[in-house]
Structure 1
């Protein structure tokens, strides 16, 4: 009976944790220097587009994390989704972004970047703005 009541929230929690693990592993094993090897064979416009896509992924990646956290909180059967819960999701997303950047200090070929944290913040804020307009608190 308890699983039935909390099943949706548990499912979203597992999806969210799985996605956080995905972000962590992607940070751990992505080697930007491998792109250099292939860069010599690509035209400049394609390289420029790839660079833009990689930078845009910060916005998308942490915007998705924020959505998953919102869904986890929304599916709690003990209460409605409030502005306070959304702010908690916002803060958790930002904290995970910071933790991921700190983690990259200890990963070969990766580095800590305030610019990356700012891009993550922009992605989270865009989703925050959209959700806030929908709920109109």
Structure 2
């Protein structure tokens, strides 16, 4: 299983506060089943660490049932919705539409000034069978 996180866009937001400056961000989290077993009810932990406030997430919900917008600055677990299961490349002939999901995220993060890039501390599959 694999997952990636890519920051796509970030702009300074109001109010202006040099000590705790908000920045609007757009990013994409990709979850890919490159294994030989179907990944049922996929979940991914994203270790946000910059006081992030998440406004929207496509193709996923917060696994704890919290509705958006929500503070996720200490990390959060996303669960697939509406596509809860990811098939294998074997059973789909590598069809990315069935083995991968892209979660588009929109939110606000604080204090990481350009050119620095605010990336999560960790990203890992959170399904029980894959935790060590």
TM-score range with shorter-chain normalisation? Answer: under 0.3
Write 1 or 2 for the structure with the bigger share of strand.
2
Write 1 or 2 for the structure with the bigger share of helix.
1
When Rg is computed on C-alpha atoms for both structures, the one with the higher figure is: 1
State the TM-score, normalized to the length of structure 2.
0.26
State the TM-score, normalized to the length of structure 1.
0.25
